[in-house]
Structure 1
Amino acid sequence: MSVKKMSLFKRADPSCDGARAPASRSLSGFPDGGAMAARLRRLARFGSAFLSGTALSGLATAALAQQSGNEAVRLFSSTEVIISSLVMGALGAALLSAMWLVRQRGNMEAETQEMRSALSDAQQRISKYEALIADKNRRIVIWEGGSSKPELLGQLPPETGAPQQDRDFLAFGRWLRGLSAGELEKSIELLRSEARSFDMVVETNRDEILEVQGRVSGGKAFVRFIALNNLRAELAELKIERERLAGSISLFHSLLDAIEQPVWRRDPQGKLTWVNHAYGDAVETPTTAQAIEEEREFLGTIAREKIKTVATSTSPFHDRISTVVHGNRTMFDVVDVVTPGGSAGMAIDVSEAEVVREELKRTLKSHAETLDHLATPVAIFDSERRLQFYNQAFVQLWGFTLPFLDSRPDNSELLDKLRSDGKLPEQLNWRSWKETALSVYRSPDTQTDLWHLPNGQTLRVIATAHPQGGATWVFENLTEQVDLETRYNTLVRVQGETIDHLSEGVAVFGPDGRIRLSNPAFRALWGITAEEAKPGTHIKAIETACTPSYDKPDGWRRFGQMLTNFDDERPSLQGTFELYSGLILDYAVTPLPNAQTMFTFVDMTASARAERALKEKNEALQKADEIKNDFVQHVSYELRSPLTNIIGFTDLLKTPGVGSLNERQSEYIDHISTSSSVLLTIVNDILDLATVDAGIMQLHYSEMSIDDLLDDVAMQIADRLHENGVTLAITAPAGLGGIVADEQRLKQILIKLLTNATNFAPEGSTITLKCWRLDHDVFFSVTDKGPGISEEMLKTVFDRFSSNAKGGKRSGAGLGLSIVESFVHLHNGEVTIDSRPGEGTIVTCRIPSAAPRAHSVAAE
């Protein structure tokens, strides 16, 4: 809105100063009348200027002129004029302002009405556009910019396969074809990042066609998905099909350019339109375009006219044509096809194939002449399984007539005729057997089979398939060979079974000193394996394997000298070997035909040492029995009774009822009690060992809980652990169950092991007692961190009275581990020790968890 700016001040016309003469009295009568008059003039000018441009400006001007012309005007009249002018000016200004405000308000109301009308129109247009956008045939995706969330408007028809949900719709790879989805995502990325518009056609997984447009407007990226109508969809499909065909044609052009055979295409007038690189090379042009431009022909005029005459749309031309390539006459296999849009052809160089074919014919003829002179029957069948070649031996073997063979019978037909003539072995399932025999045509491997013919002949049939099809059948007569092998194998098996079941050891050596055969008795007597005495092993190796078994160094050495000497006469030899194992062998060396030698060894141990062994055993038993009886009797009555009295009186002295003891006396009593207990333990151990050795100890089996057993053992060993300053850790899985054993002896085993461990474990260390179950056995393991046991001491650790006091807190009689081993063996178990110097000791006992059928008694 334009507003006119009015001038606030307006200069008065000078001509008006003297227009009117003052009619009032002069002002000179007042004091300082001149100054007053000047002020009034200035006020009048100000009022006139203030009211300039209004209807009252004339009045103010006239009053001012009148006052200027007549200085003698009366004061009251001038003042009234000025005041009246000011009031009238103010009223006029207010009136003008009101009029201006009313006019402005009218303009604003008009503008507001126009804006409301425009807003209503805009809202109607937006509703119209939204209705158009919400059409089911299109959907719009809008990106504001940056990584903001896109806005989606409208929907696509359900038959297109487009998801209705916004999140699923943007996952293009789920409902679009892979190629279309990849191109679309790449185009959207370029649209948002580089504002690059695009128009494309995509395919859904339901084979529907969509048109996609990408645009940028107002800083926003718009992507429109439009479901095409029938005509546009057909046009889009044709566009896609065109692109596919163009790609296929380009691919085939690339393929044809890569092959070595000349290929060409002609228009309906017979003019070349496309050739490959092989064609250009054949016509000696640097590029294919030059060959087309210069119309270089690969075939001669006569050949082209022949192709043009013979080739039709239903019958392509196919023949061999000779042409010149690089100055050489070459034979090509030419194929030319004709279509309404022109023709296309290809030429394949077959010159080398023709040479090879001729060479193959000559080779086959030479092979046929060679096979015809063989004594082995041979038959060759072609790819159609028809007889292609046979030799004279084949005719003689089966007795076929020449006309029948010259008729090229089928392989199946030939087998059927042999079966009907009774010349093939009888089969329970003839069809299956024949299919198996004819499967050679489908197998890449050679098939070999034995045919036992009804006339007594045995044939080895070798069938080999040809790479180009067909097969070769070779029939090898093995009748005599099979007969000889059968008789030889029978003889060898009889001899082998006879020698193998002899109780005497037998070994046969050849003239080269290598063993030919040996029986199990020979290997068992000398303690060697079958590998060490396998056929072909030299006698030196046998000597090395057998020498550690006896103390006569000249035994097998003399055998080797007998085998390898050059004497004409080979004498027999007999003697006796006494082995370290206690065996006594009588040997005999017997020469055999073909310069072979047989060694026989007879075990004479039983007969030679039976009497001596019985005497020694009887004397040993008697002596042992006397020692055991004397020991048990003396120890039982001479040691245990005094010890019991000593221990009893010692305990009695400790009681308050006997009387008080001083500190030294109490200390002496404690030493006596401790020493007596140790001595009683030793006596009990000796008695237990004596009982075991005498064979009179019996175990009293009962079922007990392993957890309770471990608790009792821990309670009994607690004082000893506290005395030695060590800790016991018991490791056992839950639910071990029970064990059937002698509870007293089993506790004795564990206490002996723990006592031994506490004696050698360093102060402050931990002794570990582990228990676990494996199959039908229960294992107990005691581990300490003591000084360990050397390898030499491990050999004698279970010997009685063998004590290793080095590193122990107190020395013993050395019977603890002997008793442990004896009691474990009585339970049919075993005990092992694993120890190394400086690494501690682990003693493991295996106890069967179930009692044997009969009570175990100490071994004799």
Structure 2
Amino acid sequence: MTLTPTALVLLGLLLAAWTVAAIWAVLAARARQKRAEASQRHARRLGRMVDESPALPLLVRVDGRIEAPLRLANWLGLEKVPQYLTELDGERVDGGSGGLSTEKLAELTEAVRRTQRTAAPFRMVATPRGSTRSLALRGHLADPQVSPGGAALVWVFDFSDSESELVQLREDAARARGDFAALVGLIEAAPMPMWFRSPDGDLRLVNQAYVRAVAGEDARSVAETGVELIESVDGLTARQVALQSFARKLPIERMVSATIGGQRRALRVSDLPLGDEGVAGYAVDVEEMEELSRDFRAFRDAQRAMLDQLSAGVAQFDVRRQLTFANQPFQRIFALKPTTMLDPPPFERLLDLARDAGRVPEARDFPAWRRERAGWFTASAPQEEAWTLADGTHLRVVGQPLPDGGMMLIAEDRTEQLRLSAVRDTLLRTRTATFDSLFESVAVFAPDGKMQLWNRRFAADWGLEDTFLDGHPRIEALLDRISQKLVHPGRVRQVGDAIRSATLDRKQREGRATLADGRTLEFAGVPLPDGNGLLTVLDITDSQKAEEALKQRNAALEEADAMKTRFLATMSYEFRTPLTSIGGFAELLQAGLGGELSEQGNDYVAAILSSVARLGEQIDDVLDLSQSEAGLLPLAQEEIDLLPFVTKLVEERAAAIKAGSITLDMRGDRSAGRLTGDRRRLGRAVGHLIDNAIAATPSGGRILVELSGRKGKAQIVVSDNGPGMDAATLARALEGIKVAADGKTIERRQGLGLPLARQLIEAHGGTLELLSEPGQGTAAIVELP
């Protein structure tokens, strides 16, 4: 079959149309494909944006089915998104290790149902189990285009970081509020006045201490009335000073005085600008600190004045090792000049000055030695050294570190102390040697009864071993040893009592002990000034024997004295009776009663009477002298006027003076006065002196008798110009009757005049003094009271 051209044309047109349609269809398909790919890319981009957004959607349908991205499951701690809302607790998905808690899930379910029924939105917060993530859920009714049929759309936000920040901010805010409240309470309770001023200087806030200080009613009234605590100083008020601080943006601190509670107190006031808010201020009561400072200064001055009175040198150095004080002994010990204290040197420089003055020990390496001493500042304990100087001075130096980093240097001159120590050692050795050389045995006991010192004779007297005494035994052990040496061991208590009395009672006590070997020891406990007791022991065996002999001799002497007394008592009768008889018969013969006597008979009778008178005087002299030496001389008490008394004695011897061709010179006046005594015996004494002068004066010689009164005493001087006597003759002239050398017999010295005169004058309380020189004569001086 052949096709017509028309048919071919139509066929061509049809094919062309078909081709065009195919091309259009292909192009249209490509365009739709591009739009689809674009839509897919847009959907993926939107999905990705949703996945990356801070809020994830949770679509809950009416039947409880849910739609949510996998990321939400991860937030909830689930491996995949469950199908229903009730499965968000994770029990059906992974066994309950994630998801919401039962309570939160119930709350979410109720909120979703309420939204689906009422279209009311809701908000809640939830934390998945086992997670610290905080999720915020905001639900509302979903748009019909999203899900028709009343589904609920819940947006889930992860605000963990924000929640942490919020929690931190809440905590900070709570802490700030607490701190602010505490600060306000602290300011209110502060014991110091505190206030706050506005930028214009007006008071805005004050605390209770401020109110009490200004005696106000309350803080508000004080702030409103502007009552100032601080008075004007140098024309500036407290407000003006605060404005200066605010303008300069610098704190201002000053010391002022204010009246608080009726007392003037020292305050340290500070004004502190607080940016543009105003100025804060507070006042610290430093009155006690000022008092302490004044007391410290006074104490320091008193301490330094006291240190100046010490014999030890004291210097103080501060933390910079600078000399701050040195007392006078320190300056003297280290030879510091007065100009040195005007600019006190540091420690090292002070050692240099001391070295120049020769007041430190010689050191081979002085810089190293000085560095070692500088290390005392950092030492943990006091450092002490002994310095021996070139001039022989010995110093005890102590470096005392102070807590503030300084040091106190103490220097004590121990030269004299060491010398005294050496002297003491010498004295101790001398004491030991003296103890050992004593005739007595001695021992020293301490108050606790321990034996301290003893000499060698102590051990010998008591028969004790040296080894026993070297152990310094106590009293009990010593008494136990001594008791073995005694005749009566029980009497050893006397020795212990003497020791205890000396050491404890501080009283002296004596006693005697008889040893078994026949010796007798006398002991005494003597308290010593140092609190110890001294026991002295003396062997009195020989002296006791001598005492017995003396007692026997004394008994013999007493018997001899009794015999002498009896002799003197009978001698007067035995001598005077025959002499009186002789004299009486001689007087009878002289009177002619026996007949007329021849001239030669009368001469004999006269010679007998003269001899009787002379013998009577001699008997009286012997009796008076014997009684005077025996202390038995009786004295009469008569009133004697000395001038006529002496004159009568001289007149009685006028004949003897004339017969010897002797010139008598008598001087005297009433100034001699009167005295009470035995006229007869005192006349005999002075008469003997005149008789001796007459006998010693040659023919043509001269005798002086002078009577005077001197210083309440009467003085009688009888002198001659005879041959005089030497010292030996003068001594014999004054000797009278005395006990012989054998102690039993009595011997008589030649001449009784002077001895008797001396005895009689001394019996009247006077004195007799003889002055004589060969060729110059003799003078007897009598002084009577």
Q: TM-score range by the shorter chain?
A: 0.3 to 0.5
The structure with the larger Rg is: 2
Q: TM-score, normalised by structure 2?
A: 0.39
